[in-house]
Amino acid sequence: MDSALRDIVTTNVVGTVEGSDPVLKNEAVVLTAHWDHLGIGEAVNNDRIYNGAVDNATGCAMLLEMARAWASLQPKPKRTALFVFVTAEESGLLGSEYYAENPLIPAGRTVVNLNFDVCYPFGRTSDVVLDGADRTTFWPVVRRWPSSST
Ligand SMILES: [Zn+2]
């Protein structure tokens, strides 16, 4: 099989809903999902393209809906919300790395970053897995969740 490697330019995509509080709007709630997926492999039903419907179109769909809902809230939440669709996750978290190095609101004023990666697409579920939350200052909030078994 012949193959070729080439560099391409790609971008993160960001939507912003400015916070309503004159002070707290300078802080960010960051919500992320990666919009890329790798590419071509073993055929499934004669389709060799890995479209990434689950990983991570489901996360992007969740993020889009959260952005729509967040933007329609009245009154607006106090803090600014950033909905960041990061690129090149499958190539080594490159879009996330770029955002971490070039945040729209400095990391010291980012109160939380919740990343959405793979939403179970086969019906209702009652389980949510929060990878990494135990290594953050957000952990006490997670533990207060009513159905938390942590
Ligand atoms: Zn993913």
Q: 148: pLDDT confidence band, cut at 50, 70 and 90?
A: low
Q: pLDDT tens digits, residue range 10-48? A: 999 999 999 999 999 999 999 999 998 877 788 889 988
Say yes or no to pLDDT of 149 above 70.
no
Q: 92: CA distance to ligand 1 center in Å?
A: 11
Domain assignment of residue 69, yes or no = yes
Domain assignment of residue 57, yes or no = yes
pLDDT number for residue 58:
92
Domain assignment of residue 106, yes or no = yes
Domain assignment of residue 129, yes or no = no
Residue 110 structural domain: 13-119
Say yes or no to pLDDT of 150 above 60.
no
Say yes or no to pLDDT of 71 above 80.
yes
Residue type, 49: I
The sign of the torsion formed by the CA atoms of 135, 87, 79, 118 equals negative
Q: 48: CA distance to ligand 1 center in Å?
A: 19
Domain assignment of residue 124, yes or no = no
Domain assignment of residue 47, yes or no = yes
Domain assignment of residue 137, yes or no = no
Question: Which residue from 5, 11, 6, 16 is spatially nearest to 87, judged by alpha carbons?
Answer: 11
Say yes or no to pLDDT of 61 above 60.
yes
With beta carbons less than 8 A apart as the criterion, state whether 37 and 85 touch: no
Residue 84, both tokens: 């960041």
Domain assignment of residue 67, yes or no = yes
pLDDT number for residue 12:
97
Q: pLDDT tens digits, residue range 87-124? A: 998 889 999 999 999 999 999 999 999 999 988 888 88
Q: Look up the CATH number of the domain holding residue 34.
A: 3.40.630.10
Q: 121: CA distance to ligand 1 center in Å?
A: 14
Q: 36: CA distance to ligand 1 center in Å?
A: 8
Tell me the C-alpha distance between 81 and 16, whole Å: 6
Question: How many structural domains does the chain have?
Answer: 1
Distances in whole angstroms, Cα of residue 94 to Cα of each of 62, 105, 131? 21, 19, 19
pLDDT number for residue 114:
93
Q: 74: CA distance to ligand 1 center in Å?
A: 32
Q: 14: CA distance to ligand 1 center in Å?
A: 18
Tell me the C-alpha distance between 142 and 28, whole Å: 18
